[in-house]
């Protein structure tokens, strides 16, 4: 009987291992996760034809969607630009979904009635015509004022902020304000890059996570800067980076944060395919928490990460 039990156990374990190995890592770079009505929606860089969306109920097992558009939430036919659809983020505001993304190194915004799309850009032109800008992320403050953080190409890549009009699409150019640029030794591997900003607010303090170094570098990493005035001075943590080569991951970065179904902060980021290969970059998820040090709440990233998988490829 013991031999029969042991044989059955080994057989079941082997099936489990084979099943797990048949799953694929989630090939999404610059990932963003939206939680809407109990379902997680992930968007990212990957398709040459637009922006893909995948879904999950548990953050580990992800499904490609059958939406009649090859899983694309945004198709290039509905957008400015023909290529380079990067770094999408989706927000549900006043009954409408807004997707902020880059196309041909220009910021764009498209809207939809569903997180699955189709997202459509009403006026097919960049948010800042005539200037290269990428990595646009929305932040709405407690008083309802909408802000857009993004990268400009006027000092390598550096991060700026501006107010938006109530339509959440139009930048108030007179409010353009610089936030951070390359200024710490760990950021100077190659080239001059501060990018992929994401901002949250806790107890009156604004926390900005960002990435530094080229995405092609193994030393791409995530840092944090804080401010008490969103249009004031941002101060980087002296102990940056918060995440760089955790475990066996290389080239980690371009992160965004979200709250899970339990109300806990999470961070999603991408990493290289392997130590020697960059593409396809894959999506990973970790926990974010705040630790009180010297009277200040310090944002920290758990180095233990989830490796999501696609289960219906």
Asked whether residue 106 carries a pLDDT value surpassing 90, the answer given is yes
- Extract the tokens encoding 168: 């959440």
CA distance 150 to 131: 12
The rounded Cα 91 to chain-centroid distance in angstroms is 12
Quick one: pLDDT at residue 35? 98
Confidence of residue 20 (pLDDT cuts 50, 70, 90): very low
The pTM of the whole model exceeds 0.85: yes
Domain ranges, ordered by start, for the chain? 28-310
Average pLDDT on 97-108 reads: 98
CA triplet 76, 79, 80: central angle to 5 degrees?
110
Q: Under a CB-based contact definition with an 8 Å cutoff, are residues 42 and 56 in contact?
A: yes
Q: Under a CB-based contact definition with an 8 Å cutoff, are residues 74 and 116 in contact?
A: no
Q: What is the pLDDT of residues 156-169, one digit of tens each?
A: 999 999 999 999 99
Token pair 């993304």: residue: 101
Q: Which residue has the higher pLDDT, 8 or 98?
A: 98
The yes or no reply on domain 28-310 and CATH 2.115.10.20 is: yes
Listed in sequence order, the residues at least 6 apart from 122 whose beta carbon sits closer than 8 Å to its beta carbon are 110, 111
**Which residues in 80-106 are b (16+ Cβ under 10 Å) and which e?**
bbeeebbbbbbbeeeeebbbbbbbbbb
Q: In what order do the strands lie in the sheet with 235-236?
A: 194-202, 205-212, 221-227, 235-236
Would you name the residues annotated as active-site residues?
30, 195
Average pLDDT on 78-95 reads: 98
Asked whether residue 249 carries a pLDDT value surpassing 90, the answer given is yes
- Extract the tokens encoding 197: 């900003």
Confidence of residue 17 (pLDDT cuts 50, 70, 90): very low
User: For residue 283, what is the enclosing H or E element?
Assistant: strand 282-293
Quick one: pLDDT at residue 13? 37
Confidence of residue 243 (pLDDT cuts 50, 70, 90): very high
Quick one: pLDDT at residue 313? 84
């Amino acid at each position: 009987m013991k031999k029969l039990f042991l044989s059955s156990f080994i057989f079941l374990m082997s099936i489990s291992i084979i099943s797990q190995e048949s799953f694929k890592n989630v090939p999404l770079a610059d990932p963003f996760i939206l939680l809407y009505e109990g379902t997680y929606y992930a968007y990212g860089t990957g398709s040459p034809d637009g922006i893909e969306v995948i879904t999950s109920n548990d953050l580990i097992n992800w499904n490609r969607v059958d939406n009649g558009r090859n899983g694309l939430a945004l198709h290039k036919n509905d957008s400015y630009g023909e290529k380079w659809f990067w770094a999408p983020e989706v927000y549900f505001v006043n009954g409408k979904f807004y997707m902020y993304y880059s196309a041909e190194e220009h910021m764009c915004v498209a809207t939809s009635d569903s997180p699955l799309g189709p997202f459509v850009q009403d006026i097919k032109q960049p948010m800042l015509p005539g200037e290269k800008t990428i990595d646009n992320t929305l932040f709405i403050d407690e008083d309802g004022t909408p802000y857009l953080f993004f990268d400009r190409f006027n000092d390598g890549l550096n991060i700026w902020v501006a107010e938006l009009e109530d339509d959440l699409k139009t930048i108030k150019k007179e409010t353009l304000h610089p936030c951070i640029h390359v200024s710490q030794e760990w950021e100077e591997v190659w080239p001059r890059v501060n990018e992929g900003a994401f901002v949250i607010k806790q107890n009156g303090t604004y926390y900005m996570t960002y990435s530094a170094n080229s995405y092609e570098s193994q030393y791409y990493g995530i840092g944090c800067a804080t401010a008490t005035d969103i249009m004031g001075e941002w101060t980087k943590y002296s102990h940056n980076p918060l995440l760089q080569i955790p475990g066996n991951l290389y080239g980690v970065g371009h992160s965004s944060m979200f709250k899970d179904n339990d109300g806990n902060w999470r961070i999603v980021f991408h990493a290289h395919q392997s130590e020697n290969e960059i593409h396809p970059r894959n999506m990973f998820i970790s926990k974010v928490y705040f630790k009180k040090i010297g009277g200040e709440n310090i944002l920290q990233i758990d180095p233990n990460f989830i490796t999501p998988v696609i289960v219906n490829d």
